[in-house]
Amino acid sequence: MQYRRCGRSGLKLSALSLGLWHNFGGVDVEENFRAILHTAFDNGITHFDLANNYGPPPGSAETNFGKILREDFAGYRDELIISSKAGYTMWDGPYGDWGSKKYLVSSLDQSLKRMGLDYVDIFYHHRPDPETPLEETMAALDLIVRQGKALYVGISNYPADQTAEAVKILRSLGTPCLIHQPKYSMFVRWVEDGLMDVLGNEGVGCIPFSPLAQGMLTDKYLHGIPQDSRAARANFLKPDMITDERLKQINQLNDLAQQRGQTLAQMALAWLLKDDRVTSVLIGASRPAQLLDSMKCLDNIAFSADELAQIENILQQA
């Protein structure tokens, strides 16, 4: 495993981090997600990323993770970076969503109880709140650090202008913004329109989520939409996103990945890690073997100028 410094902080993260968004909830098989967590840690993944509402049902991923921490990882807390977030709907009523100080502090208290922790290493505000003053939300993150409930704070899904302002406010409060978690992949590149420059200039780490575009950047969709795929279930990935043009791109990218001695998924992860402003890439896994396969991306994260030009040409076709 490679470890990268997070922005201009003293913290290093594993180049790949494990996200518990899917496959770790109350509806999932404990034997399987326990094996995924063991496989990750045994292979040097030290960062485990959660949020208050991960499940389903909401909160169950944190509960399950806390159980395994107590039973299997009790002696390894100081070898782990554990993060959580709040900002999306967690409970009904006016205090269970968005970015108020009331919600963020209450939510983290609940998360700590579910996981059986005294503190998380990183706590994020999960998305911008159009109605709460940014100063209040950032003051809540500062308070959480001063209370000892988080060591570092970050933001997620913030555009470039709001990121710059949030970083400025946090710095003035004495609690730097450690990291930003945006949606970023070969197929979703909005972060390149200013956000990555802000993060690089301000010394803030970047940890992309959905690096495989909900599975589109794998070999799963080379020949259409399988019946057991995420697109077939139409949850986060809709069938109408798998157009003929997109399938053509996927196949062309897959051909290039094979020339590099990689799977499409491995190349897509390596493509993100080529940027030294990216601290870590957040990956998911439905089984241990899938996790091990993704980790092979670290064997080749260098791209020639010709390869990058070919990728860019393919991506510009849509």
Q: What is the pLDDT along the chain (318 residues), one digit of tens a residue?
A: 999 999 999 999 999 999 999 999 999 999 999 999 999 999 999 999 999 999 999 999 999 999 999 999 999 999 999 999 999 999 999 999 999 999 999 999 999 999 999 999 999 999 999 999 999 999 999 999 999 999 999 999 999 999 999 999 999 999 999 999 999 999 999 999 999 999 999 999 999 999 999 999 999 878 766 666 555 555 656 666 778 899 999 999 999 999 999 999 999 999 999 999 999 999 999 999 999 999 999 999 999 999 999 999 999 986
Specify the pairing of strand 177-181 against strand 205-206. Answer: parallel
- Residue 265: helix, strand or coil by DSSP? helix
**Contacting residues for 8 by C-beta, under 8 A, at least 6 apart:** 203
Amino acid at 284: G
How many Å apart are CA 247 and CA 269, to the nearest integer? 19
Q: In which region does residue 59 sit, left (phi positive, over 0), alpha (psi from -120 to 50) or beta (all else)?
A: left
From 62, 52, 47, select the one nearest 11 (Cα to Cα). 47
Amino acid at 96: G
Q: Could you tell me if 152 and 121 are in contact, meaning their C-beta atoms sit under 8 angstroms apart?
A: yes
**pTM: predicted TM-score of the whole model, two decimal places:** 0.94
Per this entry, what is the length of the chain?
318
Per CATH, the number for 3-215+274-291 is 3.20.20.100
CA angle 140–280–162, rounded 5-degree value:
40
* Cβ neighbour number for residue 203 with a 10 Å cutoff: 16
How many Å apart are CA 296 and CA 198, to the nearest integer? 30
